[in-house]
């Protein structure tokens, strides 16, 4: 049996995000290519250049000239963020299995890359490789998200993930554009498994707060619960003020017209907040429909082959 025939025959794609501030990606791609070359007969590397430093892109281009497999570099028209960039990479990937690397930071054993594939072979369509510890801000976000999400799977920080073509097709059938891939995978109904390694991720992606706010609005009912809570709080205050108004009217000598004015203002504000609760709910649904029509902008696609 030849060495090639002893390798996995499924075609594998690896999509790697290169954002602003990404260091020299050549060491990471060398590690990734070595791991894929050792286990897969067919694979491709896709790098997403989302306004990455020119020196980093030049270093990748120089490394790719000696890579045994083709390397595709997607140059985004302008910086559009992690999710839009990775969506563009997913559109370009053609593999039966797709690795998603949101960062070139790799504090994990390279063997976990193939371990994720073996786990997928056992029936999991989404396999996430996660650190054992999470930063404080990320931990707070995931606790809030998981508490308000209706998904069967809990989200956590992931170093990278492997998704099957079936999972990619499923989430794109539900929504052509993935505002938050991790949540979309968890909610798609396919089996999801986490592999854990000792350590933590230290890099910070820009725009994390905006992404967190969008994710909570689109994939959870946290916004509705918040507005409902405010409405209930204001209703409680309104009722207390109404009771106080009636008490003053019955026992004191209020200024003429004061009782009527306070009564109307109290019930009026209670009604306004109740209506705003309903409006927020419908606005969240409209946002949910509008965001599905968004697209990422790719300037050019560069293919480098040895």
Q: What is the 3-state secondary structure (H, E, C) of 131-193?
A: ECCCCHHHHHHHHHHHHHCCCCCCCCCCCEEEEEHHHHHHHHHHCCCCCCHHHHHHHCCCCEE
Residue 292 has pLDDT above 60, yes or no: no
pLDDT tens by residue, 105-132: 888 999 999 999 999 999 899 999 998 8
Q: What value does the mean pLDDT take over residues 239-252?
A: 75
Residue 251 has pLDDT above 90, yes or no: no
Q: What value does the mean pLDDT take over residues 26-30?
A: 93
Task: Determine phi and psi for 260, rounding to 5 degrees.
Answer: -65, -40
CA 189, 193, 198, 199 dihedral sign is negative
Q: What is the pLDDT of residue 1?
A: 44
Q: What is the pLDDT of residue 98?
A: 96
Q: What is the pLDDT of residue 273?
A: 75
Burial of 156 (0-12, 13-18, 19+ CB in 10 A): middle
If one looks up domain 7-207+296-304 in CATH, what number appears?
3.90.550.10
3-state secondary structure of 34: helix
What residue ranges do the domains of the chain occupy?
7-207+296-304, 222-291
Check if the beta carbon of residue 27 is closer than 8 Å to that of residue 59. Answer: no
pTM of the model: 0.78
Q: What value does the mean pLDDT take over residues 270-292?
A: 70
Rounded to 5°, the CA angle 117-119-125 comes to 80
Percent of the chain with pLDDT over 90: 30
Residue 163 has pLDDT above 90, yes or no: yes
The better pLDDT of the pair 188, 292 is held by 188
Residue 221 has pLDDT above 50, yes or no: yes
**Considering the chain, what is the average pLDDT of its residues?**
82
Check if the beta carbon of residue 51 is closer than 8 Å to that of residue 19. Answer: yes
Residue 236 has pLDDT above 60, yes or no: yes
């Amino acid at each position: 049996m030849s060495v090639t025939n002893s390798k996995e025959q499924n075609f594998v794609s690896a999509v790697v995000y290169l954002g602003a501030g990404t260091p020299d990606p050549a060491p990471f791609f060398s590690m990734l290519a070595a791991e894929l070359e050792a286990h897969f007969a067919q694979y491709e590397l896709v790098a997403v250049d989302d306004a990455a430093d020119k020196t980093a892109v030049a270093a990748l281009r120089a490394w790719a000239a000696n890579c045994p497999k083709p390397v595709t570099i997607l140059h985004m028209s302008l910086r559009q963020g992690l999710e839009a960039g990775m969506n563009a990479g997913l559109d370009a990937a053609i593999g039966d299995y797709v690795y998603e690397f949101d960062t070139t930071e790799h504090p994990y054993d390279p063997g976990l890359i193939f371990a994720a594939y073996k786990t997928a072979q056992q029936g999991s369509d989404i396999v996430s490789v996660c650190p054992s510890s999470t930063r404080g801000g990320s931990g707070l976000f995931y606790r809030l998200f998981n508490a308000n999400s209706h998904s069967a799977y809990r989200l956590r920080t992931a170093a990278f993930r492997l998704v099957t073509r079936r999972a990619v097709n499923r989430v794109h059938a539900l929504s052509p554009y993935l505002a938050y891939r991790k949540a979309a995978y968890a909610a798609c109904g396919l089996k999801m498994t986490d592999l854990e390694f000792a350590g933590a991720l230290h890099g910070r992606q820009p725009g994390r707060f905006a992404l967190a706010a969008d994710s909570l609005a689109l994939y959870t009912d946290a916004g509705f619960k918040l507005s409902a809570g405010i409405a209930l709080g204001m209703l409680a205050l309104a009722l207390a003020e109404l009771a106080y108004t009636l008490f003053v009217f019955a026992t004191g000598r209020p200024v003429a017209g004061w009782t009527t004015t306070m009564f109307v203002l109290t019930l009026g504000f209670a009604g306004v907040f109740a209506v705003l609760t309903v409006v927020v709910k419908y606005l969240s649904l409209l946002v949910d429909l509008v965001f599905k029509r968004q697209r990422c902008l790719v300037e050019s696609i560069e293919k480098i082959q040895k």
